[in-house]
Amino acid sequence: MDEAVEMARLAFKENVENHLTAEEMDEFSLSAVKQSGTPSEDWEKLLGFKPEMKSYYEIHLYKPSEECPYIEKSYAKILVPRNREEEHCEIIWKPEVSPYDGPWFS
């Protein structure tokens, strides 16, 4: 997983200036959180197939919120191949925050 996070970090760093404003980059530096896990459904529309958990990691970079839906702003979702021979990561910049349909807490 450490290698996947590093690949995602490098892909983000190489492309961030083309996709986030200076203000967003400052905000990102101060408050962004990283979450990793199973690829979300967002990828199917972009790639034409649904990435399988056994083949990819997803690294999600976002600004958390203290209240539901717990994500205030999403900066990027990065799809990292588990196959170490592949070096290309796909990135969805500023993806929509999915609607929250769980219990509400404050």
Give every strand in the sheet of 56-64, ordered side by side: 33-37, 56-64, 71-81, 90-93
Identify the CA nearest to 94 among candidates 66, 67, 71: 71
User: How would CATH label the architecture of 2-93?
Assistant: Roll (3.10)
Give the per-residue pLDDT at 106.
58
The domain spans of the chain are: 2-93
Residue 101 has pLDDT above 80, yes or no: no
pLDDT in the model for residue 8: 93
pLDDT of 14-62, one tens digit each?
999 999 999 999 999 998 999 998 998 889 989 999 999 999 999 999 9
DSSP-assigned letter for residue 31: H
Q: Which residue has the tokens 């993806």?
A: 95
